[in-house]
A and B are shown apart, each in its own frame.
Chain A
């Protein structure tokens, strides 16, 4: 089995921000069940600040830990600050990930971006530097 850092185990055993947000400002879902990871991130944005973030994740220990850490990192940030959170930021905050699990941190970054994209779409605004997320969730409904 994987050799995880204490930080990863801590966030896996007691993940922060698990849940849904009703009437969320933005929701982002990435990954697919076929490869074994799906992350769904909910955000509440008020006056350009991310007030709250929650997640639901189907996946391994690293997928759950990175979701927990990513949602922690994004809370209280401005949208521009949130965009600066990359997979590396998430990984560093978790004291690293095993090489085969790096993709989980990429998924976490994508999930944050997808939620921001959804927020921008709903409010007809353009967030500079934010690209449309890849649509790769068809398996979500086929389970």
Chain B
């Protein structure tokens, strides 16, 4: 029988029922433009500011420090380009890491073409940067440090508070791409000395096409979209009220439930990881065993390729993802897996399963039952496994 198990929540999440219900009136009932003065427009304005409060509260920021965007990628672009342009008189050096999301890496490439210098910090075998490397990379002309809160592929959480301390001490802005972390890990921008933070709605059960950026009061940054006076003239354009209402509600719920969800997810995640490592030989966990996102499981299987695994899982109704070249749209496997030192062949054989609060233990059990058969089917077809077995004899 075909099951239906969605274990790809780091790619996107379904909209929560409570969020969906909250959004609905803003399509046909309260459709007013928040910049207008009449009654239904005031409803939009009220909803906008309520959502801003909800986002701010979850981050321990002030509402006026929250700006709504169209998503995580836009927020990352905003932070990097906005600070680079505004601060280029002070310097043109930016520090980031080798394992960032492409929204950061490709923006850095763009800035490089425009005369900025970028240092890409390496990571250790678990995907963590070394604070020593960061300290050494800082120069007189460094204007921004951008380090992701938690990695989207391997789930590793960076020492954000320590990075924030270093940045503050040196008077350098600190941006973190927290798209995967928000709603899953407790974040306090004040305590962590974060100057800019990117987040996205659809990673925490809000709709796609909405995100936010936290910009600490006093940070010098260029506006991102020029036009009307929305978002204090930093991001023009009529606000996506329905999406923003959804983001506000979703982040409020996620923040309220963070402790119980973390407990549940860590249990499910570790059951999944341990179940796989114990039952499938020649498999290896990618990412940090403890400092990782509560719902992230990323494992490499020797001798087989990721896309083939995904297709077989899909035929059983299980949705997951992989860092293999065939799923990345290029000839190279995931840059994150290569950065943690995996050889190409092991990176091709990676499988990422990412869980959310609504996933169940029964689903984990089903995957644990199906996966060994899938891996062994592909290994039986693999010339690498054949060679390995012969050499073992």
Contacts and interface: CB of A to CB of B under 8 A. Distances in A.
A143 B311 contact: no
Given A1-B311, A36-B344, A141-B387, A60 B381 contact: no
Nearest to A56: B383
Given A1-B314, A12-B311, A143-B303, A33 B384 contact: yes
Q: Which of A15, A59, A142 has the most CB of B within 10 A?
A: A59
Interface string A47-76: 000000000111111111000000000000
Given A60-B324, A143-B345, A35 B331 contact: yes
A58 B305 contact: yes
Given A20-B386, A36-B326, A58-B305, 20 more contacts: A1-B311, A2-B307, A12-B308, A13-B315, A15-B381, A33-B384, A36-B325, A36-B344, A36-B345, A56-B383, A56-B386, A58-B304, A58-B382, A59-B305, A60-B307, A60-B324, A61-B307, A63-B308, A64-B381, A143-B388
A49 B308 CA distance: 33
Interface of A: 1-2, 9, 12-13, 15, 18, 20, 29, 33-40, 56-64, 100, 139-143
Contacts of B375: none
A34 B304 contact: no
Contacts of A13: 312, 315
B203 interface: no
Contacts of A140: 383-384, 387
Contacts of B380: 18
B344 A64 contact: no
Q: Which of B308, B333, B343, B385 has the most CB of A within 10 A?
A: B308
Contacts of A36: 305, 324-326, 331, 333, 344-345, 348
B76 interface: no
B314 A38 contact: no
Interface string B372-393: 0000000011111111100000
B382 A35 contact: no
Contacts of A2: 307, 326
A63 B324 CA distance: 14
Interface string B331-358: 1010000000001110010000000000
B370 to A, nearest CB: 14
B329 interface: yes
A137 to B, nearest CB: 9
A83 to B, nearest CB: 23
Q: Which 4 residue pairs of A and B lie closest in terms of their CB atoms, listed nearest first?
A: A33-B345, A60-B307, A56-B383, A60-B326
B239 interface: no
Nearest to B321: A1
B308 A60 contact: yes
Nearest to A41: B383
B247 interface: no
B382 A100 contact: no
B100 interface: no
17 contacts: A13-B312, A13-B315, A15-B381, A29-B383, A35-B344, A36-B326, A57-B382, A57-B383, A58-B303, A58-B383, A100-B329, A140-B387, A141-B387, A142-B343, A143-B302, A143-B303, A143-B388
Contact of A1 (B302, B307, B383): B307
A69 B31 CA distance: 56
B327 interface: yes
Q: Which of A15, A20, A37, A60 has the most CB of B within 10 A?
A: A60
B34 to A, nearest CB: 39
Contact of B305 (A9, A29, A34, A60): A60
Contact of B381 (A18, A34, A141, A142): A18
A1 B328 CA distance: 9
A2 B348 CA distance: 16
Contacts of B329: 100
B382 A56 contact: yes
B310 interface: yes
Q: Which of B306, B348, B380 has the most CB of A within 10 A?
A: B348
Interface in B141-189: none
Contacts of B303: 58, 143
Contacts of B344: 33-36, 139
B308 A1 contact: no
Nearest to B333: A36
A57 B385 CA distance: 10
B183 to A, nearest CB: 26
